[in-house]
Structure 1
């Protein structure tokens, strides 16, 4: 069955080797990059898991871009159609960020915006995000973000679904919000927010199928079948490894299809 990976990145050395990822390198065994990784390596990892489309994201933080939008556009160009691009933004320069998002979507064909709250030390309710939310609604693209505890060596508070995602969805009911990394240890909060708001979704990135919390699996099998998207967080976890124990979830055919690609195609207008 074809797969869409809703959260992955083709890393640059300045992204992969950043000191804040030391904890992830310790857990996963992913090594530092001594030179740029060929896009063909990432494409091969996607093909190995039948991933037809990987949503490759830019990373912008207070010290500058770790993967910038033009780099992502170049990766997409080299991927033979296997990658689609997700923009990043410099929160410290709100109007420049809005203009850059417009350029990325309208000129470069990017399909979403992603901002990592813990990277900025700012929750999604901070005023610096709000011009970007309005721009996402205007451009018709989802806003993607991280929920749950922070694996890298940064504080986790910004990843709480309640109050932060709940409040943003109340302020911008037209905004589509895709919340990556499940929300653990606040998964029940994340499910409640997704239930409450028509345009809030969950992606499973950074977790292998056998590590999905039981409450998420129950949600996916039932009323949440249209709300949960597959994501890997490659290169930290390859799609093949993330999906290795998918059969153990006992998803029916319709739910499996929605989870692996149907929901993502609809949400990101692929």
Structure 2
């Protein structure tokens, strides 16, 4: 288990890639290489989960890690949640396992979610409305949210524009409209005990995200997917004040490395007394590692 007292930070947002990074039969390699160019990632092939663990071990950072299940909308095979959980368990000094279930899978997905929490120690679930092709407040997803809430797990939602498909014809079929963070307001109302994370600075809907997180006690914001040097001033202002206990460090590995993100974070105007909460303490509490 992660020794929270010893790690210097908790990265709430990292991606698991298939061993050898291969989806050659369904186009996933093209998607990944285009994303790598968009983010300026330094690797030729995405790192495996064990390679990710080693990188974070060397950095003395814990990492929440997850796949993205978007089989229905994209045709890309998903990385099995059980395999990610097993690899995370082998590296549990640094890795914290989340899962991903396409909400379109209905009752099958609900059963999987409960089993993953109970049998594999899954701490949360990643949703990507743009990749999965659904409005987050669509009632068809509610049984899955209910299961996640009942099991005490976290629901992490991609929000805002995405690097996925950026620059590809038609954005590779990805529709940005699904990822407006205001849709999460309905979920926060209907599932008040569900711990919700709005992932990323939510361009072009940053103020909507801040509004929901300020108004709803169960909604948090992670700062992944952007270098801190590009954070809008209003996000920095809220992180320093109203949302200082609800903002979380995230990198979006492997597109952005944690050390690169942290170096940029050092250069922005965050109060010294708030930095430890953003980098570790807020996430530790949300994930149940501390009271």
TM value normalised by structure 1: 0.91
Q: Structure 2: which 5+ residue stretches go unaligned? A: 1-6, 166-173
Aligned to 1:135: 147
After superposing the two structures, state which structure 1 stretch, 24-33 or 190-199, moved more.
Answer: 24-33
Q: What is the alpha-carbon distance in structure 2 between the residues aligned to residue 14 and residue 131 of structure 1?
A: 32
Is 1:8 matched with 2:10? no
RMSD between aligned residues: 2.0
Q: Residue 15 of structure 1 contacts residue 67 of structure 1 at CA under 8 Å; is this kept in 2?
A: no
Flag the 1:239–1:180 CA change in 2: closer, same or farther, 3 A.
same
1:173 is aligned to 2:192: yes
Name the structure 1 match of 2:83. 71
CA distance in 1, matches of 2:78, 2:281: 30
Q: In structure 1, how many angstroms separate the alpha carbons of the residues matched to 2:123 and 2:89?
A: 14
1:96 aligns with 2:108: yes
Aligned to 1:44, the other structure's residue is in SS state: helix
Displacement after TM superposition at 1:22 (Å): 4.6
Output one character per residue of 1:130-171: Cα deviation in whole Å (capped at 9) or x when no partner.
Answer: 011111111111111101112212121011012x11111122
- What does 1:102-113 correspond to in 2, within 5 Å? 102-113=114-125
Q: Given the alignment, which residue of 8, 25, 36 partners 2:36?
A: 25
Change (3 A) 1:50 1:211: farther
Q: CA deviation at 1:226?
A: 0.6
Question: TM-score normalized by structure 2?
Answer: 0.85
Question: What SS is found at the alignment partner of 1:161?
Answer: coil
Asked whether the 8 Å contact 2:49–2:84 carries over to 1, the reply is: no
Shift of 1:269: 1.2
Contact 2:244 2:274 in 1 (8 A): yes
- Shift in CA distance, 123/20, structure 1 to aligned 2, threshold 3 Å: farther
User: How many residues in Structure 1 have an aligned counterpart in Structure 2?
Assistant: 266
Paired position in structure 2 for 1:50: 60
Instruction: Give the unaligned 5+ runs of structure 1.
Output: none
